[in-house]
């Protein structure tokens, strides 16, 4: 899955390049502070009109960002004086307009809200949008308390969690485990930049050379083998291509490779 944070004016060109390289899932947010959701929409028009890649061939995911994550000096996608429910419904309509679509494949909360009560109100609003067929799946991001996820899960199954999966939070073990055990898609970001000790690990570097791939590809593949969907945000076309090819990698070439994978997984799992 490709995401487009902080790429701003380059968003249209980068989304087009990523899709032409083979990406078919796009992650963005209705948050002008960091994202240009409207330029993702421009890219989708070019992809359909010029390259015959229809919207239905793509997985579109965007987010509702509460006021604490917005830059109030920029146009907001809702009136912050409105209720949480009305803010989400307004932001959702802005996202549909920006992305030139009448439905989303995934709509998630950019983060939990200030209180559990507000987060539950937001969750019920996402449920409404799903019940109306306006989004296929719902979830939340930046959610590192498994108790919160379980509270929402009891109301309706959480279908997507998007968190930082990196050494700084010990690879989010508890939330990640809960998601994988309950069939929740766990999407990771900061997968590469947040884990320098892993990407420079001698075992990983050796495995990359043995399998003729890059250390980044090995990390992405390790994540996929663990049931995790890594997000990629590179501006480099070669790295985009490498990211797409990760799914085709075979790291289990021989017992020596198997031992390396077990060693790397043990490194990730250690307390």
Residue 40 parent element (H or E): helix 37-51
What average pLDDT does the segment 3-30 reach?
A: 88
Taking the C-alpha atoms of residue 84 and residue 70, their distance in angstroms, rounded to an integer, is: 14
pLDDT value of residue 4: 63
pLDDT in tens, 100-121: 999 999 999 999 999 999 999 9
Cβ atoms within 10 Å, residue 183 = 10
User: Domain map of the chain by residue range?
Assistant: 2-201+216-250
In this structure, are residues 51 and 267 in contact, taking their beta carbons and an 8 Å threshold? Answer: no
> Which residue is associated with the tokens 């002008």?
32
Taking the C-alpha atoms of residue 82 and residue 59, their distance in angstroms, rounded to an integer, is: 30
pLDDT in tens, 226-245: 999 999 888 888 878 878 88
Asked whether the whole model's pTM tops 0.85, one would answer: yes
Taking the C-alpha atoms of residue 183 and residue 244, their distance in angstroms, rounded to an integer, is: 24
Q: Which of 155, 154, 224 is nearest to 186 (CA)?
A: 224
pLDDT in tens, 67-97: 999 999 999 999 999 999 999 999 999 999 9
Residue 185 phi, psi (nearest 5): -70, 120
Annotation: CATH topology of 2-201+216-250: TIM Barrel (3.20.20)
What average pLDDT does the segment 26-46 reach?
A: 97
Burial class (CB in 10 A: 0-12, 13-18, 19+), 33: middle
- Quote the radius of gyration of the chain (alpha carbons, Å): 19
């Amino acid at each position: 899955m490709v995401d487009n944070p902080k790429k701003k004016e380059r968003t249209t060109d980068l989304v087009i390049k990523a899709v032409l390289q083979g990406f078919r899932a796009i992650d963005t947010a209705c948050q002008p502070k960091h994202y240009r959701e409207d330029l993702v929409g421009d890219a989708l028009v070019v992809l359909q009109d010029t390259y015959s890649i229809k919207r239905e061939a793509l997985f579109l995911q965007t987010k509702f960002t509460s006021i604490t994550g917005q830059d109030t000096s920029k146009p907001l996608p809702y009136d912050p004086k409105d209720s949480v429910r009305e803010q989400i419904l307004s932001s959702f309509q802005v996202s549909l307009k920006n992305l030139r679509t009448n439905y989303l494949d995934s709509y998630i909360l950019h983060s939990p809200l200030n209180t559990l009560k507000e987060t539950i109100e937001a969750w019920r609003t996402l449920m409404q949008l799903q019940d109306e067929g306006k989004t296929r799946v719902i979830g939340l991001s930046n959610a590192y308390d498994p108790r919160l996820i379980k509270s929402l899960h009891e109301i309706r199954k959480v279908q997507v969690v998007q968190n930082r999966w990196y050494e700084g939070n010990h690879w989010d073990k508890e939330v990640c485990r809960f998601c994988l055990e309950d069939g929740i898609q766990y999407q990771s970001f900061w997968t590469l930049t947040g884990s320098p000790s892993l990407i420079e690990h001698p075992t990983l570097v050796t495995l990359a050379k043995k399998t003729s791939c890059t250390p980044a590809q090995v990390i992405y593949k390790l994540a996929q083998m663990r049931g995790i969907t890594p997000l990629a945000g590179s501006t480099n076309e070669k790295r985009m291509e490498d990211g797409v090819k990760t799914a085709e990698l075979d790291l289990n070439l021989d017992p020596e490779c198997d031992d390396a994978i077990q060693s790397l997984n043990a490194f990730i799992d250690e307390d």
